[in-house]
Amino acid sequence: MDRSSHSRTRRMAPFVAVAAAAALTLAGCSSSSGGKKSTEDSSGASAGKASTPRMTVALVTHQAPGDTFWDIVRKGAQAAADKDNIKLIYSADPNAGNQSNLVQNAIDQKVDGIAVTLAKPDALKDVIGKAKTANIPVVGLNSGLSDWKNLGLLEFFGQDETVAGEALGKRLNTEGAKKVVCVIQEQGNIGLTQRCDGVKKTFTGSTEVLNVNGTDMPSVKSTITAKLTQDKAIDYVVTLGAPFALTAVQSLTDAGSKAKVATFDLNKDLTTAISKGTIQFAVDQQPYLQGYLAVDSLWLYKNNGNYSGGGEQPVLTGPAFVDKTNVAAVAKYAANGTR
């Protein structure tokens, strides 16, 4: 049949592709600026290594795939694990039911400690109880500041999202802002909503929330542009993630707006934008620190019986402000993907 002859010629396509790619490479189309060659080979932080017996720790978060923030948490956790002679098992699922199954999975593996995020505390209540029955210490991180104690966790490392929002709101007052739009990239996410609520609480001007489709950058850009056109009085755009702040800057140009941009959370490009002055400041909750401390604390507990905060108080990792005055010190760590 003619069908096979067609597919035979088509089958060559991948080979042609590889050959073309190789040809292009050989043609020496290299870039004289930027690229990997321009960055120095910089490795992350590394301390000595503990000589304590090997232990296993599970870190179970509610990360959605491909989120920069959680990647930094994981790097912090891995750094602590490497230092403490710990085997780190990382797993994540944004669905609370699935996350609870992952915790159960860790219990079944008889790990020596579990670090867990409490984005939906009620869903994890039972499985945390099971961990306690199995005598596995559990610590909390990132979200769940109001629930970790009730659930009987050993200690907690994180930032209160509302407190972080409040801090940003206060900062906006000193900046002299009048009208703020708070951009939520994932409608219905509790932590994001709390941040905007916190801003609203302390900011003396008016605050409005804007929902955007976070999985589609062009649509994020148009929607922020639309909002700035609809309400010309907006003089500050607050985003809840670094990539969205960078997009908001483009929206300002499109809308011909004079508003300024502030954001929660950091990344490499954002530190550049802060030093250039296109973005005013960022509230950093130090995700690396959250991952690092949570894992390290389980090592301390096992080997020396310590617990931070004495089981009474949470350990706060933020809010820390990064602005033009201190961005230089932070930038090199952000470039490594650890701040």
Site of interaction with another protein (CB under 8 A): 2-3, 6-7, 10-11, 13-14, 16-17, 20-21, 24-25, 29-39, 64-68, 71, 184, 187, 208-211, 213-219, 221-223, 225-227, 229-231, 243, 246-247, 250, 254-256, 267-269, 272, 337
Tell me how far CA of residue 191 lies from CA of 34, 181, 238, in angstroms: 36, 17, 15
The least distance separating another protein from the CB of residue 230, rounded to whole angstroms, comes to 5
The least distance separating another protein from the CB of residue 205, rounded to whole angstroms, comes to 17
Nearest one of 113, 149, 121 to 313, comparing CA atoms: 149
For another protein, the closer of residues 94 and 309 by Cβ is 94
Contacts of residue 230, defined as CB under 8 A and 6 or more positions apart, other chains included, come to: none
How far is Cα 114 from Cα 65, in angstroms, rounded to an integer? 21
Name the 3-class secondary structure at 231. coil
For another protein, the closer of residues 211 and 313 by Cβ is 211
The least distance separating another protein from the CB of residue 42, rounded to whole angstroms, comes to 11
For another protein, the closer of residues 309 and 337 by Cβ is 337
The least distance separating another protein from the CB of residue 136, rounded to whole angstroms, comes to 28
The least distance separating another protein from the CB of residue 221, rounded to whole angstroms, comes to 8
For another protein, the closer of residues 182 and 289 by Cβ is 182
The least distance separating another protein from the CB of residue 189, rounded to whole angstroms, comes to 13
For another protein, the closer of residues 91 and 250 by Cβ is 250
User: Quick one: angle between helices 287-304 and 68-83, nearest 10?
Assistant: 30
The amino acid sitting at 197 is: D
Contact (CB, 8 A) for 80 and 112: no
The amino acid sitting at 317 is: T
Tell me how far CA of residue 86 lies from CA of 52, 104, 116, 187, 289, in angstroms: 9, 20, 16, 37, 17
Tokens at residue 51, please? 């000589």
For another protein, the closer of residues 65 and 176 by Cβ is 65
The least distance separating another protein from the CB of residue 122, rounded to whole angstroms, comes to 22
Is residue 19 classed exposed, middle or buried when 0-12, 13-18 and 19+ CB atoms within 10 A define those classes?
exposed
For another protein, the closer of residues 150 and 215 by Cβ is 215
